[in-house]
Structure 1
Amino acid sequence: MDKYELTAKLRAAALAEGFDNLRIAQARELTEEGRRLEAWLNKGYQGKMQYLENHFEKRIDPRKLVDGAKSVVSLSFNYFPEEQQVEGAPKLAKYAYGEDYHYVLKAKLRHLLALLETELGRPINGRAFVDSAPVLERDWAKHSGLGWIGKNTLLISKQRGSFFFLAELIIDVDLVYDGPIKDYCGRCRRCIDACPTQAISEKGYIMDGSKCISYFTIELRDELPAEYKGQFADWMFGCDICQDVCPWNRFSRPHQEEAFRPKENLLEMRREDWMELTEEVFRKVFKKSAVKRTKYKGLMRNLAFLEEA
């Protein structure tokens, strides 16, 4: 089978799995991106996310993650919900309404790897990634033309906005490669102006992760810094502000993935329900959720911080 036919079959299979789009770039070292990452780390923008400092060489060269890698396949999967939380409730990032995307998407990627082996009639050397390994996923998605990296540092698509997950297959298979598209942010600065903690640089395209509400409410294990009281805009887990204000997200449409539908009654929980949340209820509601990452103690810390503001 030639690479054109194989690429077409892979793209069709990805769409059948529920992915919105699939684009491909040739595996190589990302030299320029490596320099930018090094500068970002040197400024301490990673905060206490020390894991971002690890495996630098693997981050910038997928061939060091997968021997013989030839193609980086980037995929997007919509998670925009049909419903929102009740007004006045402490806010969850929309991606956390349903089951943990890491597991849901990883299973779909494994199906695609199996398909490639079947079509080729041989084992392939390849790995599936869903935001869980040293992969510069937004840069690869940009190089393949899945979208452009916006001023809020998220990948944006003209057709879909930015409420989608990214996933990758890095494989030792030659495929048909795509190319990047232009940046359509223009003069817009809504995300910059809307960020309560000024985490986005004045000109955009650089995020100080150590100031991001998502970092504070998910990644940071320490006490939340007092100087940020009153600046979280009621976000208790993650933050969607820079996406909610982005004009391109007027094109977002509700997802169709059953696993990402919110747990029963989750969106109806009011402020008092959250404040009275017990560890038992937390475990039940977030059994298969990404919210487990912050643990019960962390979520209650975040809620208390909101109340103190």
Structure 2
Amino acid sequence: MLFTSTQEKYTHFIKQEAKNLGFMSCGISKAKFLEEEAPRLEKWLNENRHGQMTYMENHFDKRLDPTKLVEGSKSVISLLLNYFPEKKQNPTSYKISKYAYGKDYHFVIKEKLKSLLTKMQEEIGEIHGRAFVDSAPVLDKAWAAKSGLGWMGKHSNLLTKQVGSFYFIAELIVDIELDYDTPVTDHCGSCTACIDACPTDAIYEPYKVDGSKCISYFTIELKDEIPTSQQGHFQDWMFGCDICQDVCPWNRFSQSHREPLFNPHPELLNFSKEEWEEITKETFNEIFRKSAVKRTKFEGLKRNIAFLKNDI
């Protein structure tokens, strides 16, 4: 293949290696201050839409400017990794979000990003960079949108025409110039399926989500008791929530992932409500040994199940 520039050659190499590592897609944008996102984030925080997620208030400048995270950074490489499962949970049981079915995605993706950076260093030479997987002040969805990987849906998740939204977003921020992609257009149109389906009215306006009203917030981030005002609204979700994604018409294109580490423990799929209600700490540790569900801890999951059990 003939390349018109070194940047084009390196960009092609990176995207090919990303594909080889199992990433669904890869887009690249110039590392610079996110001017459009800055006032939106400030307003969201001032309106206390983040609830008890006080970490969102930290590192405001770093959240908006990758050059403050990685010295000398020139490019943000955004990557998508599919997690849509082949098999789903027992539909009559309590539910957990599909992203948490298998091994904690932080570990799975971090290893892939390290491998990609190593491959880049071997091919290109000395490159300084950092990998980010939902664990540092990086606006993942904003960078993925800038890199042309999708558009921000009305539920505030990234959407892609060919595959929907059931994927993780990760970044490599590096200190080399590359060929940059351009954003795609919005294809939500007049659809309001996600807004209409949200049982807690967390999507208070198109493209705006009140994090402190989301079922995922209540079942994962909230450390206090779940407010009784939310009784009857959770539709059996005990960890996270997929409602706004499940109803999205673009997710009819979702296809099963091919990452064995994301495959669920068999008991996770088959447990009945009664079995979840009687779960012991030992069983919890076995089923969720290396799972993102560990974030809520055994006590948190029991709290969520007790709340659902009393639903009216």
Query: Do these two structures clear the TM 0.5 threshold for a shared fold by scoring above it?
Result: yes
Distance 1:49 1:199 in 2: 15
Secondary structure class of the residue paired with 1:23: strand
Equivalence for 1:84: 88
Equivalence for 2:292: 290
Deviates more, 1:4-13 or 1:144-153: 4-13
Distance 2:52 2:228 in 1: 17
Deviation at 1:88, TM superposition (A): 1.1
CA contact (8 A) 2:158 2:165 kept: yes
Equivalence for 1:46: 50
Whether 1:244 aligns to 2:222 is no
Secondary structure class of the residue paired with 2:171: strand
Equivalence for 1:268: 270
CA contact (8 A) 2:267 2:287 kept: no
> Runs of 4 or more off by more than 2 Å in structure 1?
none
Distance 1:298 1:241 in 2: 21
Alpha-carbon deviations, 1:24-69, whole Å to 9, x = none? 0000001220110000000000000000000000000000000011
Alpha-carbon deviations, 1:228-276, whole Å to 9, x = none? 0000011000000000000000000000000000112210111111001
Equivalence for 2:307: 305
Q: How does 1:1-309 map to 2 (within 5 A)?
A: 2-122=6-126, 124-202=127-205, 204-309=206-311
Q: Return the TM-score normalized by structure 2.
A: 0.97
Deviation at 1:2, TM superposition (A): 1.1
Alpha-carbon deviations, 1:145-195, whole Å to 9, x = none? 100000000000001100000000000011110000000000000000000
Instruction: Say how many residue pairs are matched.
Output: 307
Deviation at 1:87, TM superposition (A): 2.2
CA contact (8 A) 2:153 2:207 kept: yes
**What one-letter code is carried by the residue in structure 2 that aligns with 1:207?**
V
Deviation at 1:79, TM superposition (A): 0.3
Deviation at 1:116, TM superposition (A): 1.1
Distance 1:144 1:284 in 2: 39
Deviation at 1:109, TM superposition (A): 0.2
Distance 1:265 1:210 in 2: 31
Unaligned runs of 5+ in 1: none
**What one-letter code is carried by the residue in structure 2 that aligns with 1:278?**
T
Deviation at 1:291, TM superposition (A): 0.2
Identity %: 57
Secondary structure class of the residue paired with 1:25: strand
Unaligned runs of 5+ in 2: none
**What one-letter code is carried by the residue in structure 2 that aligns with 1:74?**
S
User: Over aligned residues, Cα RMSD in angstroms?
Assistant: 0.8
Distance 1:131 1:296 in 2: 22
Distance 2:268 2:21 in 1: 26
Secondary structure class of the residue paired with 1:31: coil
CA contact (8 A) 2:150 2:158 kept: yes
**What one-letter code is carried by the residue in structure 1 that aligns with 2:117?**
L
CA contact (8 A) 2:147 2:182 kept: yes
Distance 1:211 1:266 in 2: 26
Q: Return the TM-score normalized by structure 1.
A: 0.98
Secondary structure class of the residue paired with 1:77: strand
**What one-letter code is carried by the residue in structure 2 that aligns with 1:209?**
G
Distance 2:248 2:219 in 1: 22
Secondary structure class of the residue paired with 2:45: helix
**What one-letter code is carried by the residue in structure 1 that aligns with 2:249?**
P
